[in-house]
Amino acid sequence: MVDKYIEKFGFDDLANICLSVLEQYFQFNQDRQIANPELEAWIGKTNRIHGHIRGELQTGGSHPFTKQELVESTRLDLSGFFASRHSIRNFTNNSVSLDLISQAVQMAQFTPSVCNRQAARISVLHTAEDKEKALSYQNGNRGFGHTADKVLVISSNLKSYNSVGERNQCWIDGGMFAMSLVYALHSLGLGTCCLNWCVENDVDRSFKQELSIPDSDAIAMLILVGYMPDKIQVATSRRKHLEEVLFVHN
């Protein structure tokens, strides 16, 4: 199967990840005196042909991770961090660099996704024309949407899913990625406001066509991004009582 993929698409990141996984699988079994000469021969052949470019590609398999590493990485006041994030509906004129957006997206890429397919896609709209077009299709940004420096379109590539049982997974993957991205942007000092994407099919198609979003993408939401003023009024947005959302099953 990997050979067929390489023949069709070349030896890329995905092929190298597959090779890395199979190498670790082979080594695991060899360490336990379980031979697999056919796999050994295939690994050797593939490395002879493509080994010269493997260093430039992403690898796969597994790596050690300790409980202590987890403990060290979680010594943060996340309770305060989550509570400090608010939807911002008034932004300054300061420009948000694409480098900052890239940093946030890289952080959000660690969001779990079904089978690690990483279907999420982020389209950055930054010209006045594109932002105006995009916001005209969304009915919840009147009076403040135009003040955002960037508009992000969060979507999932439907080509990543392959059965009717996964028909809702694009919204789950897209929504989880969007949540991570919002908090990543928050950690970089940027204000955000999530805009729902509740439109009819014809509106969705028109939006994609006008903004050059692939038809194979399922849009989860839009996110406004910008710098917030030194002082601003935000909605109190009281949360429900814990017993209204947490149910312990005996």
pLDDT of 15 higher than 80: yes
Predicted confidence (pLDDT) per residue in 200-210, tens digit: 999 999 999 99
Q: Which of 55-59, 112-116, 122-126, 137-141 has the lowest mean pLDDT?
A: 55-59
Do 87 and 23 have their domain in common? no
Q: How confident is the model over 106-129, as a mean pLDDT?
A: 97
CB count in 10 Å sphere of residue 232: 13
Share of the chain above pLDDT 90, in %: 89
Give the model's pLDDT for residue 71. 85
Global pTM? 0.87
How many domains does the structure of the chain reveal? Answer: 2
Give the model's pLDDT for residue 248. 97
Give the model's pLDDT for residue 74. 81
Tokens at 129, concatenated: 């024309």
Predicted confidence (pLDDT) per residue in 37-75, tens digit: 999 999 999 999 999 899 877 788 888 889 898 888 888
SS3 242: helix
Which residues in 68-142 belong to E strands, given as ranges? 120-125
Residue 170 belongs to a domain with what CATH number?
A: 3.40.109.10
> Structural domain of residue 10, as residue ranges?
2-56
Residue 241 lies in a domain: no
Q: How confident is the model over 90-96, as a mean pLDDT?
A: 97
Do 91 and 215 have their domain in common? yes
Quick one: DSSP state of residue 155? E
